[in-house]
Amino acid sequence: MNPSPPVLTGGPPVRRPCADSGERWTFGFPGGITAEVHTRGARLHGLWAPDRYGTPADVVLAPRDPALTATAARYFGSTVGRYANRIARGRFSLDGKPYRLTTQEDGHCLHGGTEGFDTRIWEAEAVHTPERTGVLLRLRSPDGDQGFPGNLDVTVSCLVGRDDELSFSYTAVTDAATPVNLTNHAYFNLEGEGAGDILGHELTVDASHYTPVDADLIPLGDHRPVSGTAFDLRRPLRIADALARPGAAGGYDHNFVLTPRGDGTPRRAAVLYAPTTGRRMEVLTTEPGLQVYTAGQFDGTVLGKSGTPYGAGAGIALETQHFPDSPNRPGDPSPVLRPGEEYRSTTLLRFGVRD
Q: Which residues are catalytic?
A: 185, 319
Supply φ then ψ for residue 39, to 5 degrees.
-75, -20
Other C-beta atoms within 10 Å of 263: how many? 7
Across the beta sheet with 43-50, the strand order is 14-17, 23-28, 34-38, 43-50, 56-58
Report the alpha-carbon distance of residue 36 to residue 40 in Å, rounded: 12
**Contacts of 144 by beta carbon, 8 Å cutoff, 6+ apart:** none
Select from 1, 133, 135 the least CA-distant residue to 57. 1
Q: Is 107 exposed, middle or buried (0-12, 13-18, 19+ CB in 10 A)?
A: exposed
Select from 268, 250, 251 the least CA-distant residue to 259. 268
Residues 328 and 92 sit within 8 Å (Cβ to Cβ): yes
Q: Is 144 exposed, middle or buried (0-12, 13-18, 19+ CB in 10 A)?
A: exposed
Residues 29 and 7 sit within 8 Å (Cβ to Cβ): no
